[in-house]
Amino acid sequence: MLSPRSLEAFREVMRTGSVSGAAEELLISQPAVSRLIRELEERLDLRLFTRYGGRIVATPAAHEFWMEVERSFTGLKHIERAAQQIKRGQRATLSIAAAPAFAQAALPQAVAELHQLRPEFRAEFFSMTTLPVVRQVALRQCQIGFGIPTQHKSEIDVVRTGALPYRFIAPAGHFLGDKAEVDIEDLSDLDFVGFVDSTMTGRSFDRRFARMRKPPVMKMRSYLSIVIAALVRRGLGVGIVDPFTAEEHERAGGIVRPLNTEERFEYSVIKPIGEKLSPECEALVEIFERLAEAHRHEPG
């Protein structure tokens, strides 16, 4: 049987990137960490680290193994957290995983409305990118997830999908605020704050801008819509975000206008495969859909 202490040492070395970092986290000596790692390698008959003088470098096998170890530790933490909540009478009735665009605006409002309807309702709220959302739901660490559409449909059930119009955002006083609707061509040569190209929105608009004779000038990038809106409000450029973030941007004093483009902000609500939604999950989805419907069509 694998030693839990060896697995813990391996996990901390992977997490901190060094034996010394792991020793500090575990409150044991560096030789003790090295010994635990050697014992684990011998037990597994698997080379986990390559040693270069005083440094160790994780092998590809170690990275694969780490994913399995993290999954186990996540499950143990979930059990421990559940026990403590039960002890305090604070057991969450709903665990939610959400991509940042949902976690920053729409879902806090939806959760607040659900809490007003059901004061006994308790929730755990985790914000992460879409792939980790899928993993959390697939592993049944969360009962429901909100993110962009995913290809991992063999691991989860899709509850709802939808598409919403993007919004143009600008700092207060920007000249495009005089327009009732902004066209993509209006962005020519303007300083722009965009999404990184590892996001669906970033890739979509990078392709769209590539077709323009004079595309926007990309000044800043982020994978978080709330960061993009914050940079726009500080005058670093204009941007394009989902309608939930745009609503928060407008509340903070920025300019929001409809954007004339065929691109749409697509979303997906997911649950663990084969599981039935709890009444709390069903209520949350209905509230979220009502909030989304308010943004479904361009204003005016």
In one letter, which amino acid is 285? V
Please report which confidence band the pLDDT of residue 75 belongs to, taking 50, 70 and 90 as the band edges: low
How far apart, in whole angstroms, are the C-alpha atoms of residue 271 and residue 159?
7
Average pLDDT over residues 31-55: 89
Q: Which residues contact 137 (CB under 8 A, 6 or more apart)?
A: 97, 143, 144, 145, 156, 270, 271, 272
How far apart, in whole angstroms, are the C-alpha atoms of residue 219 and residue 62?
38
Q: Which residues contact 99 (CB under 8 A, 6 or more apart)?
A: 127, 128, 129, 130, 133, 146, 147, 148
**Per-residue pLDDT at 77:** 66
- Greatest mean pLDDT range, 22-36, 117-131, 229-243: 229-243
Considering the entire predicted model, what is its pTM?
Answer: 0.67
Please write the tens of the pLDDT for every residue from 226-272.
Answer: 999 999 999 999 999 999 999 999 999 999 999 999 999 999 999 99
- Token pair for 100: 């940042």
**Per-residue pLDDT at 300:** 44
**Domains recognised in the chain with CATH numbers:** 4-85 (1.10.10.10), 92-163+266-293 (3.40.190.10), 167-262 (3.40.190.10)
Q: State how beta strands 182-183 and 255-260 pair.
A: parallel
